[in-house]
Every structure is written in C-alpha cells, then in structure tokens.
Amino acid sequence: MKRKDFVLAVEGLTVSFDGFKAVNDLSFYVEEEEIRVIIGPNGAGKTTVLDLICGKTKSTHGSIKFRGKELTKMTEHAIVNEGIGRKFQNPSIYEDLTVFENLEISFPRGHSVFGALVFKRDAEVIAAVEEVAETIFLADSLDKTAGLLSHGQKQWLEIGMLLIQKPDLLMLDEPVAGMSVAERKQTAQLLNRITKNRSVIVIEHDMQFVEDIAHRVTVLHQGKMLSEGSMQKVKSDPKVVEVYLGH
C-alpha cells in the first residue's frame, strides 16, 4: 500500500517505569494535515505517548521521527523548536493577564530586535494576536482578564497560545473535558480550521467529538495498539468494543 507523506513516524516505541511498560512496542504514522485521535481506557498510555513525543519522558526503546528527524534524544526545548506544540490536560494560562496579553507573551521571541524594527514587530505581533483570537472565538474578548473566561474559553485560549507559535504538529490532551455540548462543537470546528499545513494529535474520550474531528483513530490498550483506522472501522472492531466502547 502506498502511504501518503507522513510527518510523524513512531516505531517500536517503549517506555518502562520500573519494569512496567506504560507504552509497549508502539508504532503509528501521522500524515500531513491529518487529525489523529488517540482513544483508549484510562491508564492505556495515551498521555505517556504525548510525553514521549514532546520529550517530557524519555523512551526506553524505539524511535520517534518528525519530518525524518529523530526526536528521542532531543531536549523538550529543542522539540518545541522543531515545531511541536503540546497542550496538557489542565489549562495553564495567566489568569491575571488579558486574553491579548496571554497571546502576546506566547508569540515566539525569535532574535532580538533593534530600534526602528520594534514598530514593525509590534504590528506583526498585534496582527498575529488578532488572527489567532478570531480562530479561537475570542476576538471580542481581547481585553478581558483571562481568569474571567469560561472553562471552555480558557481551553481555547491555551490552544491559541500554542497556535501563535505556528506549530507544525499540535498535540492536545482531552481538550473538551468539562466543556458544554455547544463548546465541544465549536472546538471541533476550531480543530478542523487549523489543519492547513499542520497535523494534530488529540486524546479524547467523547465519542461524538472524536467522530466530528478524527481522520483516523488509534486505539491504545495496555500500552499497545489495539486497533487503528477510520472511526467507522474502530467502532465496529469487537476488540475495541470489548475493552473500551462497551463500558
């Protein structure tokens, strides 16, 4: 079978915590502009997979290649610089700052600027903040203190703080947990909007949401891949029904 170009190739990935293999010989491939959703029961190793990709946890065996570059030996910081952004389960925004300021401080610093260039840069930052605010449904809330946003809006803001860094691979861990049905629908819309030249990996339990966004689904169980394919395919896989969807 001919494979489309993939951005991320995970092969034989294993991590052992005191002999317990939280991720066990896992291989999967994510394509350009794909939204991949990882599902599976609690403790399956989903979050650990993201920890391994972003370098927070070091693998015991295996390889993670991003656009052909091996990530397993790189620092977290270097991995961010390669273009990988990751959102954790709990939003980490600056509650006392405004939406604008939260986005502004997330704008990549780049090289130092001098004199006349500062104005140009200010205009660039403002344009980027406004563009991202539009994408995350917060264009009318730029001056609002982030602490006053709804739970869902805080989640979007954190996604925005990643988007402003223009990652090529964005990873989100349970982004719609605690959101209203309407906010979940909007989040699906948001994700479907941002895949131009970008791949997204999402961990989620909400099957309606998964259905709304997933190009392909990878099902994890006890650190291993249980099933993979379209939502339709994994939903009707008896192994998946037995260990996950049946509950």
Positions in the binding site for ligand ADP (CB under 6 A) = 17, 22, 40, 42-48
Footprint on this chain of Mg ion (rule: CB under 5 A) = 46-47
**Interaction partner, residue 149 (ligand ADP, Mg ion, none; CB < 5-8 Å by kind):** none
What is residue 126's DSSP assignment? H
Q: How far is the CB of 238 from ligand ADP (least distance, A)?
A: 21
Q: How far apart are CA 240 and CA 216, in angstroms?
A: 15
**Interaction partner, residue 141 (ligand ADP, Mg ion, none; CB < 5-8 Å by kind):** none
Q: Which residues 6+ apart lie within 8 Å of 182 measured at CB?
A: none
Q: How far is the CB of 73 from ligand ADP (least distance, A)?
A: 19
Q: How far is the CB of 14 from ligand ADP (least distance, A)?
A: 12
Question: How many CB atoms are located within 10 Å of the residue 193 CB?
Answer: 11
Q: How far is the CB of 44 from Mg ion (least distance, A)?
A: 8
For residues 17 and 119, which CB has a smaller minimum distance to ligand ADP in the complex? 17
Q: How far apart are CA 133 and CA 161, in angstroms?
A: 10
**Interaction partner, residue 42 (ligand ADP, Mg ion, none; CB < 5-8 Å by kind):** ligand ADP
Q: How far apart are CA 37 and CA 50, in angstroms?
A: 12
85 within 8 A of 146, measured Cβ to Cβ:
no
For residues 23 and 30, which CB has a smaller minimum distance to ligand ADP in the complex? 23
Q: Is 188 helix (H, G, I), strand (E, B) or coil?
A: helix
For residues 49 and 191, which CB has a smaller minimum distance to ligand ADP in the complex? 49
**Interaction partner, residue 45 (Mg ion, ligand ADP, none; CB < 5-8 Å by kind):** ligand ADP
Q: How far is the CB of 163 from Mg ion (least distance, A)?
A: 22
Q: How far apart are CA 28 and CA 225, in angstroms?
A: 9
Q: How far apart are CA 1 and CA 16, in angstroms?
A: 32
